[in-house]
Structure formats: C-alpha cells, structure tokens
Amino acid sequence: MTAGAGLFAERGYDGVPVALIAQRAGVNKAMINYHFGGKRKLYLAIVGATFAEIAAGVEQVAASARPAPEALRELIAVIGDMATRRHPHFCSMMLREVVAGGHNLEPELIETPTRILAAVQRVVERGVASGDFRPVDPLLTHLSLVGSLVFFFATTRFRARVLAARRPAVRAPDAATYVRHIQDLLTHGLAGPRRSARRGA
C-alpha cells in the first residue's frame, strides 16, 4: 500500500499502471491482484484505511473532556502527524483526486471525511458554548484547518524549490513548525470573550 500511495501521489490514479506499483513494491502484478483485486481496489483500500484512521484519531480527541482550545490544538496535531509521519503521501494523493473531481472515490468513502468535519464541529461548538471561542461557522473552521494543512503537506517539494531559488535563499518551514503555526492561528483567531478576559486580566 505504501508503494501505491507514493505513486498515486506522484502521478494520479490514471498515471499509475499496476506493473509500476508492483515494481516499486518489489512484487509481481499477480500479488497485487490477489491481495487487493486490482489497481482500483488498492486505491480505494488506501483511501479508506487512511481516512478511517484519521477520523478515529480526531473523534477520540473530540470526545475527550479537555477544554476546547486544548482539544483543537490536539486535533490539529493528530491530522499533522497522520499527514507526515504515518501517511506522508496521502495529502498529495487526495489533492490530485479532489482537483479532478473525486471521480475515483466510492460514495461510501466520501462519507468518511464527514466524520472529521463532525469532530471539528463538536470541538468548535463546545468552545463557543464555554466562551472560549467566539461564534463561528464550524464548516468554515474545518475548511480553514484541513485545507491549510493539506495544501502545505501536498506542496512540500515545490515549496522547497521555490524558496531555494530566492536570493538569498529562504529555508522552508518544517512540518512541526507549520502545525504549531496553525494551532496558534486558529486558537487565537477563534478566541471568545472568556479567553480574551483571561488574557487581559
């Protein structure tokens, strides 16, 4: 699955023949067909398993009793970890798929990302109710959070080239630095009257 994810991220679904996946994985085509039932089922298995893992992680955070700002920071960290350490090719793979209209995804797979939205919504609504967050649209918050992280991780190689071409060259930010930036940006940007009062005291 790792070999397939890397190739799908680089070339998109249509640009990856099964033979190339087999070559990178060090197996023969028959093994892929035997274990997954072909390229399409391998693709869907990668997407389904990764989305399910991300959704389970953020749902666990959303279900915790920790204050909403702390939960939001942890939720961002979970997504960042999934996109870098555990599934480094997934953001590029999904950005290609989404830009192409998502035609390679089954309807039931499209339902899984809504669990991530529901987790963000739960944390945001809890924060608004407690006064830690100002009233905001949870969907817009979700899009800001996920969209910024996906774009950052999907464009890592291109960004490094662009920044290296500057004179003087600019060092590209690493993943951990960007995750902390988004944590600070959202928690401070969503701050409600309760948190503002604490900071001003």
| pLDDT, tens only, 39-61 | 999 999 999 999 999 999 999 99
Structural domains in the chain, CATH included, are 46-200 (1.10.357.10)
Strand, helix or coil for residue 133 = strand
- What the block records as the tokens of 177 is 């630095």
Average pLDDT over residues 24-33: 89
Taking the CB of residue 183, how many other CB atoms lie within 10 A of it? Answer: 19
CA 19/CA 137 separation, integer angstroms: 46
| C-alpha R_g of the chain | 19
Helix or strand holding residue 3 (H, E):
helix 2-11
Per-residue pLDDT reduced to its tens digit, 56-86: 999 999 999 999 999 999 999 999 999 988 9
% of the chain residues with pLDDT over 90 = 69
What pLDDT does 123 receive? 98
Rounded to the nearest 5 degrees, what angle is found at the Cα of 52, between the Cα atoms of 13 and 178?
Answer: 80
Q: Is the pLDDT of residue 93 over 90?
A: yes
Torsion of CA 6, 180, 166, 161, to 10 degrees: 0
Q: How confident is the model at residue 195 (pLDDT cuts 50, 70, 90)?
A: low
| pTM of the entire predicted model | 0.87
- pLDDT of 109 strictly over 90: no
Check pLDDT > 70 for residue 198.
Answer: no
Please report which confidence band the pLDDT of residue 166 belongs to, taking 50, 70 and 90 as the band edges. confident
Q: What is the C-alpha to C-alpha distance for residues 37 and 18, in angstroms, rounded to an integer?
A: 11
| Rounded Cα distance, 172 and 169, in Å | 9
